[in-house]
Amino acid sequence: MNIDSAGLANEALYAASPNCDERPRDAVIELLVIHNISLPPGVFGGDAVTDLFMNRLNPVAHPYFSIVAGLRVSAHFFIRRDGTLLQFVPCALRAWHAGQSMWCGRERCNDYSIGIELEGADDVAFSDAQYGRLGALARALHARYPIAASVGHSDIAPERKTDPGPLFDWQRYRASLRQPDHR
pLDDT digits (tens, 9 = 90+) for 56-95: 999 999 999 999 999 999 999 999 999 999 999 999 999 9
Task: Give pTM, 2 decimals.
Answer: 0.96
For residue 52, the surrounding DSSP H or E stretch is helix 48-53
| pLDDT tens per residue across span 160-171 | 999 999 999 999
Domain tally, the chain:
1
Q: Give the CATH number for residue 88.
A: 3.40.80.10
Does residue 181 lie within any of the structural domains? Answer: no
What are the catalytic residues?
A: 117
Position 3 in a domain: no
Task: Report how far residue 165's alpha carbon sits from residue 34's, in angstroms, rounded to the nearest whole number.
Answer: 10
Decide if 156 is inside a domain. Answer: yes
Q: What residue numbers bound the domain in which 148 lies?
A: 13-176
Please tell me the distance from the alpha carbon of residue 167 to that of residue 140, in angstroms, as a whole number.
24
Quick check: 163 and 154 in contact, CB under 8 A? yes
- 183 has pLDDT over 60: no
Q: Do the domain assignments include residue 21?
A: yes
22 in a structural domain: yes
> Does 1 fall in a domain?
no
18 within a domain of the structure (yes/no): yes
d(CA 23, CA 72): 17
Residue 120 lies in a domain: yes
